[in-house]
Amino acid sequence: MSKPASVIFPDVPTAAMTYCTSRFRTVRRPAVEVKVGAVGVGETNPIRLQSMTTSDTQDVVATVRQSVALAEVGCEIVRITAPNVAAARCLRDIRAQFSAAGFEHIPLVADIHFLPSAAMEAVEHVEKVRVNPGNYADKKKFAVREYSDADYDRELARLYEAFSPLVLRAKALGRSLRIGTNHGSLSDRIMNRHGDTPLGMVESALEFVRICESHGFHGLILSMKASNPKVMIQAYRLLVARMDTAHRPYPLHLGVTEAGDGEDGRIKSAIGIGSLLLDGLGDTIRVSLTEDSVYEIPVARTLAEKAGISRQESAAVRQETGTPQRGAENPEPEGSDPFNFSKRETVTFMLGKHCVVGPEQPPRVIVRVTPAELPHLKSKVSSPNFADTPVEGVLVPVTSGADLALVIAGVREWAPSAFLALELVPELTPADCEAQTSNLKSPVLLVRAFAAGESEFLRSFAALARRHGHFLVCAVAPADLPRLGETLRDLGDAHLVFTLDSRLPAPDRAHSVGRYRQLAAQLRALGSRAPVWIRNTAATAIGRSPDFLSRLLDASILTGALLCDGLGDLVSIETEADPARATKLAYNVLQGAGARSSKTEFVACPSCGRTLFDLQTTTQRIRKRTGHLKGVKIAIMGCIVNGPGEMADADFGYVGGAPGKINLYVGKTCVQYNLPQAEADDRLVALIREHGKWAEPAPAASPCFAAPSPSRDPAVTAS
Ligand code: SF4
């Protein structure tokens, strides 16, 4: 065999790279079709939904039962771990029994880490094999060393020898392969040359792609998973940009790994998967939850449906305008860099008694309440993990002058620490507002939609805001974005905030994320540093959102995608009628996007056939003890084989070491081995104390509102 030449990336400036046809509308990336058994992935095939069994693979009956359960809820591709050759051998019986149960058409995938011998056995029995390029031919040693180009080439030659037999066998049998990179388990070679960066993740996969292509094998699907959605989004974008210049456009498998469970797991998945689907990327998806796998499918289906709706909108406008379905649209807003995160620069200002808005500040949370609810508002949200989470801003709709007087009177009695935003109907004039708000001690946000041609009126409101130290929130209709220059003329940024009036459709049918990107692009082009308020409303939803899950996914996609782009200074989720739930959801979305930490961050693997303890109950137990530790990241991983490598940048790790035994980690260092599980929770808490990261739980705060919301919603919990 002649090995392919080593290729280290040429230094292509990221500004010259594109990864999608439109950042404003959903135009699906044209991937080639790869067959996984009878199921086509990529090209014009629907986005395929997949999941993974969690049983011991050598328990054939249990694994077949789980595979059937997944297939019955709509899973189109089932993955099963093959941790050793014996387990890989069991895949033959699993395949046979699964087919006999009527699911011959559903392909099975073997999940391989570390053992090429297990992969060589598995490829004989199932339709696809997933390999992790970080550990297929490399043992993770966390070694720091310099690799000269000659060293690096020697490593690639070793990789070539180790991986080629699988490629050749897959080619002979008509199997497909997934090159599945994980952010947390890159090889030492990649780590030392590229670091644990999106670029390192991409190069890790392309090392394997080049070997496949050198053998004329193209049945490839690629993935770039990370537990941090921001890293995952950047890695997929970079992969596409790099891959499409030198390789075939292989289909993409999207997923956020170790996303956790409940609301948090769904939010993280929606941020990562949902925003890439809106960009037109992704051909098959897996939502990884630390719950029974069947609960992953409804979430994946809803995300895929939303992407479909967004694609149809885009296709319709392209047909109406005669724009070709592919190409012909400048995808990048001027000045934005989708491959590197940087927060948009804005002016800084103070709202209320404690709240600063600005580029160095976390996004501020605003909750919408009715005038009747306002007097009952307390200053903090109460729920198990939100003991010290403040209500920062309150948005109250005001429909008349009398209404405004009542709200202001209520505010005077209420004397909150939160700042006030007043949503004004067009009938209210600047004079009405001045009379009521001029004597308020704290600045308020005056929120008003301005139609085209109302620029004089807008100027009057802006002057009023400046005179009294208030802020004008200018809600711009998408159709009026091109005229934003007129709005900004002579006004300056000092007392302005921008948001979208999403009730009116965008004339180019941009999706809700795209509309905010257009707003930010316009502000950038005009040199404005005014903050942007992301408002989640019924009008920003993708399709109908009849239940909490759908609304949660909408809020996560819009808010999360924009925050991962570095956009958004204020956030409100106005689709939840219960203000306590809306506030909690907003903080959870900010945490999921890595924009603001309000509680402990849990990185929990979804579990699989390697898992050594009950991940679901353990995660819930540890959350109960440590969920109040703001800013602390705890990983709960089911096995020692993969767990330590994949727990990313967690502060502490709780990892299955052997049946009934737990290893505890501080960062990537194992500090306690083989603890009986009955002692492990206490020892974890002791370890957190020793490292100065422990805080006593705060006494329960008074509820945000008179009736506290349930802490978990049945629509998003497993049971
Ligand atoms: S870390 Fe969890 S999901 Fe990953 S291999 Fe181990 S048990 Fe399976």
pLDDT in tens, 261-291: 889 999 999 999 999 999 999 999 999 999 9
25-34, 480-489, 649-658: range with lowest mean pLDDT: 480-489
Q: What are 54-93's pLDDT values in tens digits?
A: 999 999 999 999 999 999 999 999 999 999 999 999 999 9
Please work out whether the CB of residue 639 comes within 6 Å of at least one atom of ligand 1: yes
Same domain, 382 and 302: no
What pLDDT score was predicted for residue 332?
56
Query: Quick check: CB of 637 below 6 Å from ligand 1?
Result: yes
Split at pLDDT 50, 70, 90, the class of 388 is low
Q: Give the pairing of strands 380-381 and 389-390.
A: antiparallel
Residue 447 scores a pLDDT above 70: yes
For 538-571, how does the pLDDT look when each residue is reduced to its tens digit (9 = 90+)?
999 998 877 999 999 999 999 999 999 999 999 9
Both 151 and 287 in a single domain? yes
* Burial grade of 405 (CB within 10 A; 0-12, 13-18, 19 or more): middle
Evaluate: CB of 227 within 6 angstroms of ligand 1: no
Angle at 717 between CA 388 and CA 381, to 5 degrees: 15
The residue nearest atom 1 of ligand 1, judged by CA position, is 643
Q: Is residue 709 part of a domain?
A: no
Closest approach atom of ligand 1 to CA 612: 7
- Within-domain flag for 160: yes
Query: Around 147, how many Cα atoms within 13 Å sit in the side-chain half-sphere?
Result: 19
* Cβ-contact 235, 338 below 8 angstroms: no
| Higher-pLDDT residue of 662, 11 | 662
| pLDDT at res. 334 | 61
Atom 3 in ligand 1: which residue has the minimum CA distance? 607
User: 255 CB less than 6 Å from ligand 1?
Assistant: no
The number of the ligand 1 atom at minimal distance from the alpha carbon of 608 is 8
Q: Is 259 in the pocket of ligand 1 (CB under 6 A)?
A: no
Q: Look at residue 205 and tell me if it is in a domain.
A: yes
pLDDT at 129: 98
Q: CATH number for the domain including 618?
A: 3.30.413.10
Per-residue model confidence (pLDDT) at position 508: 79
* pLDDT attached to residue 244: 78
Which of 57, 66, 81, 291 best tests ligand 1's pocket when mutated (most atoms within 8 Å of CB)?
A: 81
**What contacts 446, CB < 8 A, 6 or more positions away?**
421, 422, 424, 433, 437, 461, 464, 465, 470, 471, 472, 473
Residue 717 has pLDDT above 70, yes or no: no
The pLDDT confidence band at residue 8, using thresholds 50, 70 and 90, is very low
User: Do 605 and 584 fall within a single domain?
Assistant: no
Is 610's C-beta closer than 6 angstroms to any atom of ligand 1? yes
Query: Does any ligand 1 atom lie closer than 6 A to the CB of residue 605?
Result: yes
More confident residue, 703 or 600: 600
Of 569, 592, 615, the domain-final residue: 592
- Residue 142, pLDDT > 50, answer yes
Domain limit, last residue, from 298, 321, 344: 321
Query: How far is 61 from 615, CA to CA, in rounded Å?
Result: 21
Distance 35 CA to ligand 1 centre (A): 27
Same domain, 297 and 361: no
State which residues form the domain around 184: 14-321
Residue 118 near residue 86, CB atoms below 8 Å: no
Q: Answer whether 607 contacts ligand 1 (Cβ < 6 A).
A: yes
**pLDDT in the model for residue 122:** 98
* Domain co-membership, 588 together with 628: no
Q: Whose Cα sits closest to atom 6 in ligand 1? A: 639
The reported pLDDT for the residue numbered 648 is 67
Q: Is residue 699 part of a domain?
A: no
Residues 402 and 294 in one domain: no
Q: Which residues pair with 471 in a beta bridge?
A: 445
Would residue 696 count as lying in a domain? no
Q: Same domain, yes or no, for 512 and 617?
A: no
CA of 611 to the centre of ligand 1 (A): 6
**Model confidence at 324: pLDDT above 60:** no
Q: What is the pLDDT of residues 329-379, one digit of tens each?
A: 555 556 678 888 889 999 998 887 778 999 899 999 999 988 888 877 765
What's the total number of domains in the chain?
3
Any domain includes 682: yes
Q: Which of 547, 573, 592 is the last residue of a domain?
A: 592
> How is residue 374 annotated by DSSP?
G
d(CA 42, CA 47): 8
Q: Is the pLDDT of residue 143 over 80?
A: no
Would 707 be classed as within a structural domain? no
Partners of residue 349 on adjacent β-strands: 357
Q: CATH number of the domain that 553 lies in? A: 3.20.20.20
Which of 117-131, 188-202, 225-239, 519-533 is predicted least confidently? Answer: 188-202
Q: Do residues 662 and 614 share a domain?
A: yes
Among the listed residues 292, 208, 329, 277, the one whose alpha carbon sits nearest the alpha carbon of residue 560: 277
Segment 430-444, tens digit of pLDDT: 888 888 888 787 889
- Ranges assigned E (strand) in 477-569: 496-500, 533-536
User: 312 with 445, same domain?
Assistant: no
Token pair listed for 384: 């198990």
CA of 111 to the centre of ligand 1 (A): 10
Distance, CA of 61 to CA of 67 (rounded, Å):
10
Residues 230 and 303 in one domain: yes
Mean pLDDT (the chain, rounded): 87
The rounded distance, in Å, linking the Cα atoms of 719 and 715 is 9
Residue type (1 letter), 501: D
Check whether residue 381 and residue 244 sit in a common domain.
no
Q: Report the nearest atom of ligand 1 relative to the CA of 606.
A: 3
Ligand 1 site-directed mutation target among 84, 293, 612, 641, most atoms within 8 Å of CB: 641
Q: Residue 713: inside a domain, yes or no?
A: no
238 and 90 assigned to the same domain: yes
